[in-house]
Amino acid sequence: MLPPDSCDTHAHLFGPASVYPWNPARGYTPPDASAASYEALHRTLGVGRGVLTQPSVYGTDNACILDYVARHPDRMRAVVAVGPDVGDAELAQMHDRGARGIRINLADKGGNPFASFREINNVADRLKAIGWHIELLLHVHQTGGMLDDIRKLPVDISVGHFGYMPAALGVAHPEFRKFLDLVREGRTWVKFTAPYRITGLATTPYDDVIPVAHALAEAGPDRILWGTDWPHPICPVPMPNDGDLTDHLADWIPDAGLRQRILVDNPARLYGF
């Protein structure tokens, strides 16, 4: 059983397209994932709070998630997508509707509207003034010199999906060790989400992910988050059961006190619940 006020920090809503049209440049077209189905998932799992993350299929049109989050200010927050030309007034309006960060996809360059870290820095300076963070999607085992650019950002960073660290490479991988050092510095948060994107196994339990989770939790216990990645829009293995995915928490975080921090306390600080 999850503790009260547990937070699912990563999920998406999709459709209907008649109300929220797709971005013409999208890389895929998902089936509808409704607010009612999302709420049913949370009731089943015992989740009390949630963060909706902007999916690439909507580009920088954040209406779908902000319309929902604005109706539930006590229990919902959003991470939105913006371009380098976003204005302060637009950021303020999104803040009032529940947004607390922006998402930048460095893993799939087609989904990244920023041409350089200089552009990211320019926006980050304004995010700092309103207490937002930047969520990055990146392959932590292929960062090159990118970690130095990330360190220079003036706001906290959240990294999704275990940093896309392939479990098969092992936690001794030199680039992963550098990422662990970044987490230890205290300004980088990591989402335990979408383990099916890094596992080498076809079905749950994804036991090969356990060492990755343990290494990250040891490096930054106060900076680990958890989320469902519902409705699992990019799932390279047979679709897992959400209950089975949630059960992984007991293996990733055996200590009940630490699970309380990861599920409740950590997201409350980052997202302002």
| Residues with a known catalytic role | 229
> Which two structure tokens, joined as six digits, stand for 251?
């293996």
Angle (CA) 30-194-181 rounded to 5° is 135
CA proximity to 141, closest of 114, 112, 170: 170
CA distances from 264 to 4, 133, 250, 270 (A): 8, 18, 15, 11
CA distances from 263 to 4, 49, 67, 81 (A): 9, 10, 25, 24
CA proximity to 234, closest of 61, 25, 29: 29
Assess contact for 188 and 180: CB atoms under 8 A: no
Spatial separation of the C-alpha atoms in residues 95 and 131, rounded to whole Å: 10
Give the position of tokens 């958890």.
226
- What counts of helices (H) and strands (E) characterise the chain? 10, 8
DSSP symbol at 263? I
User: What phi and psi values does residue 34 have, to the nearest 5 degrees?
Assistant: -85, 160
CA 186 remoteness from chain centre:
17
Spatial separation of the C-alpha atoms in residues 251 and 49, rounded to whole Å: 22
